[in-house]
Copies of this chain bind each other. A is one copy, B any other.
Amino acid sequence: MSKRSEGPLGSSIGQLLRLPPGPVDLSAIDTNGKPGFEDGKAEGKKALAALGAELAELQERLFAQAYTGASRQRLLLVLQGMDTSGKGGILSHTAGLLDVSGLALKSFKKPTEEELAHDFLWRIERALPAPGEIGIFDRSHYEDVLVVKVHGLAEPDEIERRYTAINVFERKLTDTGTTLVKCMLHVSADEQRKRFLARLDDPTKQWKFKPGDVDERGHWAEYQAAYETALERCNPENAPWYVVPSDRKWYRNWAIAQLLLEHLRALDLQWPTPDYDVAEQRARLGSA
């Protein structure tokens, strides 16, 4: 059974995690919180599993609508967060509830020479979900105002230009049938340290660690500041940010599944009506 607690004002998870417009202070948002969920880890895992059937059905309706040409709607989940914040965990646990045939997953790495020769949105455009698909971006165009800013990989003027370019780009997406769900997985520096140590201590996880991760961790405050600017500048009503407390993995996995579900429900997806005569086709098969 879904643990969709109604919150003090009958709030949905979307309402509870929605980043309000205006200046952003990430330090004021509890990384260890669990808004909208009253119980603990065991219940959280059960609640996540309980969302699976409805998520899968809505995903199939979305796919069916595009397949029959009834609609061009699609959904794009954008995952951003510091190292270890759990983008991979979302793919394993939350995306695992969905049908892989309707998923379009893209992990953005360090740009290639070819990608760098184009505008920063070029590689993003090429990875957008098709109608009927649920796309998931593991990192995204936001890296171009995050890591790029922290390491000075572009001129300040160019970075400044990008905030507006992102808003224009995302407006185009939402105007043409894409539901954007942008999630910042919010972890504390202390939780990150624990997760890195856990990787180092486990021979089945050591491959995920590289010494450069500790160097990046040294820029923690600069990254938080870059996130605050990006979240403030690119947080319009049509493409808002959700800040998901992520120190508790089970809460993060559940909350994002619940966010997906709320956004899919809002699309009011129906099974397509056949454009053929069912009885006639039955008869053809019967005599086949």
Binding site for B on A (CB under 8 A): 60, 64, 67-68, 88, 91-92, 95-96, 98-101, 103, 105, 107, 138, 193, 196-197, 200, 203-204, 206-211, 214, 217-218, 271-272, 274, 276, 278, 281-282, 284-285, 288
Contact = CB atoms under 8 A, between A and B. Distances in A.
A285 B197 contact: yes
8 contacts: A64-B208, A68-B207, A91-B100, A197-B285, A200-B285, A206-B271, A206-B278, A207-B274
> Top 4 A-B pairs ranked by shortest CB distance?
A64-B207, A91-B101, A206-B274, A207-B272
A282 B214 contact: no
A237 B283 CA distance: 45
Contacts of A96: 96, 99-100
Give the copy number.
Answer: 2
A138 B138 CA distance: 24
Given A203-B271, A217-B288, A281 B211 contact: yes
Contacts of A99: 91-92, 96
A144 B60 CA distance: 29
A81 to B, nearest CB: 15
A139 to B, nearest CB: 12
Contacts of A218: 288
Contacts of A288: 193, 214, 217-218
Contacts of A91: 99-101
Contact of A276 (B100, B101, B197, B211): B211
A210 B208 CA distance: 46
B88 A282 contact: no
Nearest to A136: B100
A68 to B, nearest CB: 5
Contacts of A278: 200, 206
Nearest to A288: B217
Contacts of A64: 207-208
